[in-house]
Amino acid sequence: MLERQQLVGSRRDVLSPDIRVERPRVCSSQHLRIMSFCACVILIAVLVAAVMVGVAQSDVNDNNYEQDPTYWHNMAQKELEDTLRERPRGVAKNVIFFLGDGMGPTTVTAARILAGQLLGFKGEEQKLSFDKFPFTGLSRTYNVDHQITDSAASGTAYLTGVKTNQGLLGLSGAAIRKRCNSTEGAHVDSILRWSLNAGKSAGIVTTARVTHASPGAAYSHSADRDWESDRNIPHAEKDCADIALQLISDNNDINVVMGGGRAYFYPVDAPDPEPDPTFNTSKVCRADGRNLIQEWQDIMASKKARHRFVHNKKGFDSVDSTRTDYLLGLFTQSHMSYELDRNKTKEPSIADMTEKAIQILKKNSKGFFLFVEGGRIDHGHHDTRPAHALHEVVAMAQAVEVATKLTDPFDTLIVVSADHSHVMNLAGYATRGNPILGLSDNDDKVPSLAASDKKPYTTLLYGNGPGYREPRPNITGVDTESKNYVSQSAVPFKSETHGGEDVGIFAQGPQSFLYSGVHEQNYIPMVMAYASCVGPYAEGKKPCAKHESGSTGQGQGSSSRAAALSTAGIVLTCWSLGYVISKSCL
């Protein structure tokens, strides 16, 4: 017994061998009740989480639970509680703006259903990544001279804060399209330029040409969106610089530029590193003999900047983000491939490019602005090929998911919107889970709801476009889910047109609640500027988010993060209490 006491004593304090050894304590029934309670709390938390995950991942094709009113009440109440917790103020160190070109409300709904069906679910209950953002609003897309906008005028609105005329890039409505001499005094700068002027990094990612209308509005000032190369400018207007030249000569401080359109930067006699035999470069290659890609590399070298130019997936994968401050990636001669056609060994995805851009830009301690465009949604619609358009939305939603995982909602404002809509309709009375790209199936069950000509029709139809035929074809047996299927149209057009309805705004992060409601499209960059204290809200100008009363300089984050922290706090507190009690019992 003495030996044991000496051993215990030496273990308790080797410097005090004479210390009195206390008799081991035994847990009281009260202690045990507390410990049991804590264990139950932890177990319940784990079980609840497991059940929630299980419900989320359950086979929703068996939707008997949807017949219970409690299910819908609980869902609505949970959404309300999440919304009530949200009011994220503070300063946005970073801003990421995702633009789905042509991603109108019907397109979002159809893409959401497709995303769910690709996972084996019915589809309607699915949520795209940005559907989960806490704040949504609507954007009014008309411009100065047109009821229904194009991508140039809308790009100028949502990037510069100024609505303008059809076809103009980075110019106010005082300029006249195709008139070079009308641009003097009409230049307007974008949120990208405001961010660079504030010392932040900036980047552009697109699946279209980097000189196309949407990305072009971020950096260029052009009297015509089609002046992408000097070869596209009429001789009488040659005093104006083309869009590709403006990118390299006037905007080489942009840290990241990735997309398509390589042919617009090379002279006609320069060999392309990976020529596309199906693309006619003679109409777009430079007539001035300048190799703008080489000029960009020379400019970077003169700055002693750590830079890379890449033209394929292999080069892209080899880029070390930690050792690269400037990246120019031009992966195709014209637009990048549709996601359904993309050669994954040659072209990075929009999610790949978004991830690489963020990795490079986030090294700046002052923050960054990144513009990401899903540019080929629009092209799929113009061809009335809904499979292409919707898969482009799903791919962009994956890029949004990547951005949310790589950033912190406490200091990063992420906004998702569109420049305009399209005339695609989601029509008929298809039953729940009917393939969104398939034939509407309700006419078999309710004959009175069948088409008057008794021929089948698809759920997705277009108001106009190249799919018009007279008489309307019988598409029984046609693979309408094929990526190349041209959907039927009501009015004959060589190319389907834009739609003029309001488009959605989805946002999370600091000041994202300011997007709630219906807004003019030029309002979008003003919130970004206010949240990140740049441009009109830069230091010394109008007060910005950091001047708000009680602002800590950080946003409050999302409800999901708050809920996660609360749950973790409860579990940690309970575990700590149990640990203390257990120690007291030793």
The rounded distance, in Å, linking the Cα atoms of 170 and 227 is 13
Who wins on pLDDT, 484 or 583? Answer: 484
The rounded distance, in Å, linking the Cα atoms of 402 and 410 is 16
Q: Give the per-residue pLDDT at 346.
A: 97
Is 31 annotated in a binding site? The answer is no
390 pLDDT band (50/70/90 cuts)? very high
Is 212 annotated in a binding site? The answer is yes
Which range is least confidently modeled, 100-114, 268-282, 506-520, 540-554? 540-554
Q: What would the pLDDT profile of 216-275 be if each residue is shown by its tens digit?
A: 999 999 999 999 999 999 999 999 999 999 999 999 999 999 999 999 999 988 989 998
pLDDT value at 49 more than 70? no
Who wins on pLDDT, 101 or 450? Answer: 101
Listed by start position, the domains of the chain span 94-423+497-557
* 3-state SS record for 505-552: EEEECCCHHHHCEEEEHHHHHHHHHHHHCCHHHCCCCCCCHHHCCCCC
Q: Give the per-residue pLDDT at 575.
A: 52
**Two tokens at 298?**
């020379």
Q: Give the per-residue pLDDT at 540.
A: 84
The rounded distance, in Å, linking the Cα atoms of 313 and 319 is 10
Cβ partners under 8 Å of residue 36, min gap 6: none
Q: 94-423+497-557: which CATH topology?
A: Alkaline Phosphatase, subunit A (3.40.720)
The rounded distance, in Å, linking the Cα atoms of 166 and 263 is 25
Average pLDDT of the chain, as a whole number: 88
Taking alpha carbons only, the member of 502, 487, 523, 338 closest to residue 421 is 502
Contacts by 322-328, CB closer than 8 A, 24 or more apart: 322/359, 322/363, 324/360, 325/255, 325/360, 325/363, 326/255, 326/256, 326/300, 327/255, 327/256, 327/257, 327/258, 327/356, 327/357, 327/360, 328/257, 328/258, 328/293, 328/296
Is 382 annotated in a binding site? The answer is yes
Q: Which uninterrupted H or E stretch holds 242?
A: none
Is 378 annotated in a binding site? The answer is yes
**DSSP assignments along 292-324, one per residue:** HHHHHHHHHHHTT--EEEE-SHHHHHT--GGG-
87 pLDDT band (50/70/90 cuts)? confident
The rounded distance, in Å, linking the Cα atoms of 424 and 371 is 26
Sheet holding 424-426, edge to edge: 424-426, 460-465, 489-492
Provide the 10 A C-beta neighbour count for residue 502.
18
559 pLDDT band (50/70/90 cuts)? very low
Taking alpha carbons only, the member of 244, 248, 240, 247 closest to residue 222 is 240
The rounded distance, in Å, linking the Cα atoms of 129 and 444 is 35
Is 214 annotated in a binding site? The answer is yes
Active-site residue, 495 included? no
The rounded distance, in Å, linking the Cα atoms of 548 and 91 is 9
Provide the 10 A C-beta neighbour count for residue 6.
12
- CB 134 within 8 Å of CB 560: no
Is 411 annotated in a binding site? The answer is no
Taking alpha carbons only, the member of 321, 315, 318, 317 closest to residue 293 is 315
pLDDT value at 354 more than 50? yes
Which one of the listed residues 28, 129, 139, 151 is annotated catalytic? 151
pLDDT value at 9 more than 50? no
Kindly report the backbone phi and psi dihedral angles of residue 100, in degrees, each rounded to the nearest multiple of 5, phi listed first: -90, 105
DSSP letter for 173, please.
T
DSSP letter for 444, please.
G
